[in-house]
Amino acid sequence: MNTKVFRNLSYGVYVVSSMDGERPTGCTANSIMQITSSPATIAVSINHDNYTNGCIQKTGKLAINILSEASAPGIIGTFGFQSGKDTNKFEEIAYSLEGGLPILKDSCGYIICQVIDTMETDTHTVFLGKVLDGDVIESAAPAMSYAYYHNVIKGKSPKNAPTYLPEETEPGKKWVCSVCGHVYDGELPFEDLGDDYKCPVCHQPKTAFVIEN
Ligand SMILES: Cc1cc2nc3c(=O)[nH]c(=O)nc-3n(C[C@H](O)[C@H](O)[C@H](O)COP(=O)(O)O)c2cc1C
66/82 Cα distance (integer angstroms): 19
- Inter-CA distances, 117 with 42, 54, 55, 59, 129, Å: 11, 15, 15, 13, 7
171/213 Cα distance (integer angstroms): 6
201/204 Cα distance (integer angstroms): 8
- Gap from CA of 181 to ligand 1 centroid (Å): 14
Q: 83 in ligand 1 pocket by Cβ < 6 Å?
A: yes
142/211 Cα distance (integer angstroms): 34
Calculate ∠ Cα 102-132-136, nearest 5°. Answer: 65
- Mutation pick for ligand 1 pocket among 50, 76, 167 (CB with most ligand atoms within 8 Å): 50
15/79 Cα distance (integer angstroms): 7
pLDDT tens digit at each of 213 positions of the chain:
998 898 899 999 999 999 999 999 999 999 999 999 999 999 999 999 999 999 999 999 999 999 999 999 889 999 999 999 989 999 999 999 999 999 999 999 999 999 999 999 999 999 999 999 999 998 879 999 999 998 888 888 888 888 888 765 456 778 988 888 888 988 888 888 999 999 988 888 898 888 887
47/55 Cα distance (integer angstroms): 12
Q: 134 in ligand 1 pocket by Cβ < 6 Å?
A: no
By DSSP bridging, strand 109-120 and strand 61-66 are antiparallel
Ligand 1: nearest atom to the Cα of 84: 26
pTM (predicted TM-score): 0.87
